[in-house]
Structure formats: C-alpha cells, structure tokens
Amino acid sequence: MVFVTGGTGLIGSFLLRALRARGLAVRALHRGAAPTNAAPGVEWLAGDLLDTDLLRAALTPEVTHVFHCAGLVSYAPQDEDALLRVNVDGTAAIVDACLERPGIRLAHVSSVAALGTPAGAAEATGTLTVTEAATWDLGAAHPAYATSKYLGELEVWRGVAEGLSAVIVNPSVVLGPGDWNRSSTRLLRYAHQQHRFYTRGLVNFVDVRDVVAQLLALALDRPELSGERYILSAEAVPLGEFFRQAAAALQRRPPTVAVPDWAAEVIWRLEHARAVLTGARPLITKDTARAGRRPVVYAHAKVQSATGLVFRPLADTLDWCAAELAANTTTAPAVIVS
C-alpha cells in the first residue's frame, strides 16, 4: 500500500491515478469534504497533516511507500506562519511517522525555491544554471515560501541521517489542468482572461504528468536511490513567450505590454499598503513582482540520467491543458481586459 498526502492537489491528484493504474493500493489524506472526482479505489482519510496520531495510524504495516505532496504555496506576507506550520512542521510529522515504521520509503515533493538564489543572479547579464548542488545562502533574504520549503527539506535530510530511505524532487512551476484559482494553474487563468500586461523574466516549467512519471520512477523503480534530490524542470522560457503560447492554446488574445521593473516595484508597494489598510490579500507581492526577473535556469540532467525519462515541450503541455480545461470546466473564468 502507498500513502499519499496532498492527494487533492495538482500533483497529488495525478499521482493517485498513476498509482492506481499500476494496480497499487492507495490511502490518501484530505482536509475538508471528501473528494468526489478523485481516482477510483482510493481509501481516503480525513484529517490534518499535523495530527501525529492520525499519521501513525495511517502508516499501517502494509504501507511500503509514502509520497508527501501536501504543501502550502503562498507569497502573501500574512501566510508566513501557515507556511512554517504546513511545509516545515507538517513535513517533520511525516518524517517522524515514517521513522517509526522501518522499511518505509519516502518521496518528498519540495520545490526549486528550496535551492535558493545563486550568488550574482540579480546582477547577471547572462543566464545562470542551477543544479541540485546549489547551497542555501543563510545570509541572503529569501521569500517565506522558499524558506519554508528549504526547512522542510532539512527535516527529510534529518530522517535520512536517522536511517530513512528517501528521495526529494524539486519541481519548478508545475503546469496542468487543475483548479483555475490555485497555484500554477492561475497562470493559465491569467492568459485566459486576456490581460494586457505581463512582467519580464523567465519562467521554468514542468508538466504535471512528467512530475508524476519521475516520482514513480525514483521512488518505486529505483529503490537503491536514497538521500538524493532531483530537479524536475523541462525548460525556461521568457514569460511573454509563455503567455503568447498559452493564449494561443486557449484561443485568447495574449498580453502585449511588458511592465517595466520600476513599475512592478511601485505596484507591489501600493498593493502592500492596500492590504495593510483593508486586510485584503495583495494581488501582487514583492516576491511575485520580482519572480523570474533573475536569469536562472534549473537543470534536469541529473534526473534524466537517473530515470532515462524526457520532459514534454511547452507546446504539448499547453495544448493538453487547454483541451482538459475546456472539457472539465463548466464555468470558465470571466474574461477581464486590463
């Protein structure tokens, strides 16, 4: 049996289907109402990631693998405490539960954000390549989300030091036909809404199907691999080009006006002031305004060498997402021209 956290998220939902397609028994953790459109045959457990008693009970003797996909993605300042609880304390709870069951293998879904920002990225005139050997700069300023994912990885490394068999994957922006209002699928929503503006910079992306395929290969098919992390990223493209291709796939008009860096700096400060005065969540934060501005590409050579799997090109991913979203979305997001 396989135990999965975050089974209702983008990666988790596709992972459940892939595990069931392999004929494996699957138990998954969820919060809130029980999923109604999930993979058939999944045993669902309602509860919280921080409920240590529940986690111990979930890891019954027949459980051989744990896929920890649950996590909070947010760049809003008011979510800093929640990021630490979910991404750090939640991961620590999973690691502790696994350590109590000798022989269990853990696959932890982290993020390229946990790799930190290479020195000199802000001033670089050329593209910098980041590999799994990147080290975290303790003296640099990092977004709260990145810090939480880094600290979550440290919990997994602690488990490895105590004898846990574990691998870590670090996806970039994961693309797939998920909830319009959640995580990376909001990029597709932005293209669908026909906004006029976009920011300069690069976006590193990976197809959710490739994330799942690599996860299965690393965790199930290569049991000898432990204490390693693997970047999962297909390639990097300019954000303007990404939106052009996404809009074409969705049959929408692409954004055409690049926002200068100085304007993005003004906008996030105004949004921060509005959020402080009204209590509303900012539409753009300092971290999202600056995301992708640094010319960084995340290398995937290590995982391709380990599994032999290749990554899908952007055009294939966007065409698939557009077709799936059109088929599954009963009410498309309103078209906004701004």
Percent of the chain past pLDDT 90, that is, above it, reads 60
**Integer Cα distance of 131 and 298 in angstroms:** 6
In degrees rounded to 5, what are phi and psi of residue 337?
A: -110, 115
pLDDT, one tens digit per residue, over 282-305 is 666 666 666 656 778 999 999 999
SS3 of 51-99: the string is: CHHHHHHHCCCCCCEEEECCCCCCCCHHHHHHHHHHHHHHHHHHHHHHH
Dihedral angle at the C-alpha atoms of 322, 327, 332, 336, nearest 10 degrees?
20
- pLDDT for res 70: 94
**pLDDT interval class at 336 (50, 70, 90):** very low
The contacts found for 325-329 with CB under 8 angstroms, 24 or more apart, are: 325/177, 325/180, 325/188, 325/250, 328/177, 329/180
Q: Which residue has the higher pLDDT, 147 or 123?
A: 147
Contact status, residue 244 vs residue 254, Cβ threshold 8 Å? yes
**Integer Cα distance of 10 and 57 in angstroms:** 25
- pLDDT for res 291: 61
Using the predicted structure, report yes or no on whether residue 75 has a pLDDT greater than 90.
Answer: no
**Of 71-80, 82-91, 125-134, which one has max mean pLDDT?**
82-91
Q: Which residue has the higher pLDDT, 125 or 164?
A: 164
**pLDDT interval class at 48 (50, 70, 90):** very high
Using the predicted structure, report yes or no on whether residue 73 has a pLDDT greater than 50.
Answer: yes
**pLDDT interval class at 197 (50, 70, 90):** confident
Helix (H, G, I), strand (E, B) or coil at 100: coil
Q: Which stretch of 151-165, 235-249, 261-275 has the lowest confidence by average pLDDT?
A: 261-275
- pLDDT for res 273: 74
User: Residue 275: which H helix or E strand, with range?
Assistant: helix 261-278
Mean pLDDT taken over the chain: 86
Domains recognised in the chain with CATH numbers? 2-175+204-234+294-312 (3.40.50.720)
Burial level of 191, CB count in 10 A (0-12/13-18/19+)?
buried
pTM for the structure as a whole: 0.89
Sign of the dihedral defined by the CA atoms of residues 50, 56, 60, 66, in that order: positive
**pLDDT interval class at 338 (50, 70, 90):** very low
pLDDT, one tens digit per residue, over 246-272 is 999 989 898 887 777 766 677 667 766
**213-228: average pLDDT:** 96
pLDDT, one tens digit per residue, over 316-327 is 999 999 998 888
- pLDDT for res 334: 39
**pLDDT interval class at 124 (50, 70, 90):** low
Q: Which stretch of 100-109, 141-150, 193-202, 288-297 has the lowest confidence by average pLDDT?
A: 288-297
Residues 6+ apart with CB under 8 A from 166: 98, 105, 106, 107, 108, 156, 159, 160, 226, 227
**pLDDT interval class at 337 (50, 70, 90):** very low
**180-206: average pLDDT:** 80
Contact status, residue 5 vs residue 70, Cβ threshold 8 Å? yes
**38-65: average pLDDT:** 93
- pLDDT for res 258: 75
- pLDDT for res 268: 60
- pLDDT for res 283: 61
